[in-house]
Structure 1
């Protein structure tokens, strides 16, 4: 993964999202140890404090838990929690933007739904 250092999203958030993606992909499963702040710092060439901030963000969200002296581990319901969070935050936001743009373009609800269904089915409309 490449970090985007253009300032659009803080690096520690990108680290947290990357770890979430790894949990979703089951690279890390429940109760498995994740990379340390120093390993993440070396992998992404960032400050260890920045990596720690990303890890602590996931601890605050109960995606990871700390074992004193051993490191950070994935919680039992981490994958489920990430999926729920992303559905409620990310997808809802994208859908809201899509509906607003459709209204601006005077696209009717039935047409918008057909467009979404076509994308889901993999059909691309050539218009």
Structure 2
């Protein structure tokens, strides 16, 4: 279990995010059935309540829906909703702190763009 989860976030949120990642990456598409709670409990080796908490958050956010007696499925428009949420979080969690730090360092927009370009090229070369 150590490699599946990290300590800086509750496990139920990490399970939720793993399902979200599968939707964003098109591994799970609209109306695809997601693994059952029991399957996830066995796979992740965590408590049933932990998995249920993550699943219930996705249901509340209309990312997945339940068919009684059948299972849980990816909701229509789930990927678009997740992508929009992640874009907003990206700006708040990554871009804003980067801009604030760049300002402290006296970096210009051109400097920032060049740094991003350089990092992106390195990442592409490593892939």
| TM-score tier (shorter) | 0.7 to 0.9
2: distance between equivalents of 1:16 and 1:37? 12
- Provide structure 1 residue ranges, at least 5 long, that are not aligned to the other structure: none
Post-superposition offset of 1:90: 2.8
Post-superposition offset of 1:114: 2.2
1:65 and 2:65 are equivalent in the alignment? yes
The residue aligned with 1:94 is 94
1: distance between equivalents of 2:25 and 2:112? 31
The residue aligned with 1:2 is 4
Post-superposition offset of 1:98: 0.6
Post-superposition offset of 1:61: 1.2
> For each residue in 1:65-108, what CA deviation from the matched residue of structure 2 results, as whole angstroms up to 9, or x when unmatched?
11111121101111111111111113432001111111222222
Post-superposition offset of 1:60: 1.2
Give the helix-richer structure, 1 or 2.
2
In the alignment of these two chains, the number of paired residues is: 121
- Provide structure 2 residue ranges, at least 5 long, that are not aligned to the other structure: none
2: distance between equivalents of 1:94 and 1:74? 28
- Report the TM-score, using the length of structure 2 for normalisation: 0.86
1: distance between equivalents of 2:60 and 2:104? 39
Detail structure 1 runs of 4+ shifted over 6 Å in the superposition: none
